[in-house]
Amino acid sequence: MRFVVLIGASGSGKTALASAIEQRHGDEVQVFYFDRIGVPSVGHMIAECGSGEAWQRAKTFEWMAKLAPLCASGRGLLFEGQTRLSFLADAAKAAGISAYFPILIDCDDETRARRLAVERRQPELADKNMMTWASYLRREATKRQCDILDTSAIDLEQAFAYVMARLRGEDSH
């Protein structure tokens, strides 16, 4: 099985997907969540690393170093979180990870706003900054020819099947 990384902005569905895979296939896929390290306030990120972006980069490097030894286990490995593809590529290289499969989990802004404001009851996240972040990730994924899974018009089962196929190496790449 492969090492698959799900990235995406809040409200895209990446955590719901990772949780479904963990619940149904936890015996064959190890699942890790970026946010389980705790996400401090922006002020703390700045104090620790100089900026929120630098904190995200540093933590991506820490995660890839932690996951590198697990890549040879033969089990599937799934990591989900909000990070830039460029940080992921640099961190994987530094950790000696040569084979991983990133997927941008995405959705349209209307769907994201509804998920954040209504379903998750976090309307403060459904702001212009989040939509700009999602747009940035979309551009970066397109530029790097990364798989993009748009969850706007598909259900969890369809998204689940897509990611499981990638974990098993059943794709067109």
What is the CATH number that goes with domain 3-167?
A: 3.40.50.300
pLDDT above 50 for 137: yes
Residue-level pLDDT at 75: 85
Residue 136 has which token pair? 């940035």
CA distance 134 to 155: 20
What phi, psi does 105 have (nearest 5°)?
-90, 120
Average pLDDT over residues 20-39: 88
Residue-level pLDDT at 7: 95
The answer, as to whether pTM is greater than 0.85, is: yes
Instruction: Render pLDDT for 35-68 as a digit per residue (tens, 0 to 9).
Output: 877 676 778 888 888 888 898 899 999 999 999 9
Instruction: Render pLDDT for 56-115 as a digit per residue (tens, 0 to 9).
Output: 899 999 999 999 999 888 789 999 998 999 999 999 999 999 899 999 999 999 999 999
Closest CA to 159 of 28, 11, 18: 18
Domain boundaries, given as residue ranges, for the chain: 3-167
Residue-level pLDDT at 132: 93
CA distance 82 to 136: 12
Mean pLDDT of the chain: 90
pLDDT above 70 for 173: no
